[in-house]
Structures are given as C-alpha cells and as structure tokens.
C-alpha cells in the first residue's frame, strides 16, 4: 500500500465536476432536505429524519480519522449546489470489508455523478482502509444504484452483514476485480 497516495480523510478534494468535503452545520438544510424527503428515504430504506437528526448526522461524521465511518458532501464545482453524499460505514477490520453508501438528490439523478464519485470512493476504501471487499446494500427497487455499481465490477452476493431493515440487495466488489 502506497502511503504517500493516501489522503487525510478530512481533506477536501475534487473530481472533474464535484467538490467533496466533510459536512458542516452550514449544510444542515440540505442534509435535512435529503434525508427527510419521503421519495429519497424509500430508496434508503430509512424513515425520514427530523431537523435535529440532520444535525446529529453532520456531527456524527465530523471527524472521520481513525473511525469506522466517513461521509462526504458532494457539491457541484461550478455552482456549489449540493449534489448528495457518499462514504463508508460498517468497516470490519477483521473481515477486511466495508459497506459504502451514497445518495444523489433527485434533481441530479441520471447525470453521471455516481459514475464520477464511485471510483474515488472505491480507491479510498481499498487503499486507505486496506479492505479486500467493498459492498453496498440497496433497496431492491433501486435499479439505478445497482446499474451504477455493476459498471465498476460489483456483483450480487449474499448479505455481507445482518440487516434489520426491509430486504436489501447486497452487491460486492473484491479487490482482485478492481482496476483503477
């Protein structure tokens, strides 16, 4: 693992169209909008959050260094519009696996944002976390999400962890199948 290539998790970075940074209290309105919208929450398999819970989400992800979870806000480079979030959680160091998650605000669906963000997230997990398996859990009706990750080599598999939510589709990517 090339340690010089690994960034500090709290550092902001950019891709062609996206600026990634940790969320802060100034983002509470867009985080609340994102995670309280019934249409969005149906795809997350989560109940809508309250304004106070939106603040808790931001606080939870504020200092990711050394923790088993991370969440970046994704913003349009040109307009600074909030596009969504992405990150990881359920990092299991013993099993060398991690779950990634992402959400795009519905006005930005089908514009290629996840295809731009996923390679960065995948590389971060394989290089920084040194995992052998990255997986997603998604709602069975979220065909767009499943299609996005298939493009990067994710395949349907048995659940990588127990879930209490409604049934989820698990898709995983093994280190040996990733080419960046």
The pLDDT tens digits for 125-156 are 998 899 999 999 888 888 888 888 899 999 98
Segment 160-165 shows an average pLDDT of 76
pLDDT of residue 180: 65
- Measuring CA to CA, how many Å separate 12 from each of 19, 23, 118? 7, 10, 16
pLDDT of residue 45: 64
pLDDT digits (tens, 9 = 90+) for 10-33: 888 999 999 999 999 999 999 999
Query: CA triplet 145, 147, 151: central angle to 5 degrees?
Result: 120
Fold held by 8-177: Aminopeptidase (3.40.630)
Cα-Cα end-to-end distance for the chain? 14
Reported confidence tier of residue 7, pLDDT bands at 50, 70, 90: low
Judging by DSSP bridges, how do beta strands 13-14 and 82-92 pair with one another? unpaired
- In what side-by-side order are the strands of the sheet with 133-138? 13-14, 18-22, 70-76, 82-92, 97-104, 133-138, 169-174, 155-157
């Amino acid at each position: 693992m090339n340690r010089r290539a690994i960034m500090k998790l709290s550092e902001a970075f950019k891709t062609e169209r996206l600026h990634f940074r940790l969320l802060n209290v100034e983002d509470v309105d867009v985080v609340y909008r994102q995670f309280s919208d019934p249409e969005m929450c149906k795809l997350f398999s989560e109940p809508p959050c309250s304004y106070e819970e939106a603040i808790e989400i931001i606080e939870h992800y504020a200092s990711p260094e050394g923790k088993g979870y991370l969440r970046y806000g994704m913003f349009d480079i040109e307009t600074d519009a909030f596009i969504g979030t992405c990150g990881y959680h359920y990092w299991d160091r013993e099993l060398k696996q991690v779950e990634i998650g992402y959400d795009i605000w519905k006005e930005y669906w089908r514009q290629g944002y996840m295809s731009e963000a996923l390679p960065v997230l995948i590389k971060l997990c394989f290089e920084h976390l040194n995992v052998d398996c990255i997986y997603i859990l998604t709602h069975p009706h979220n065909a767009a999400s499943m299609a996005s990750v298939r493009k990067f080599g994710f395949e349907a598999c048995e659940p990588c962890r127990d879930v209490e939510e409604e049934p989820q589709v698990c898709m995983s990517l093994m280190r040996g199948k990733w080419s960046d």
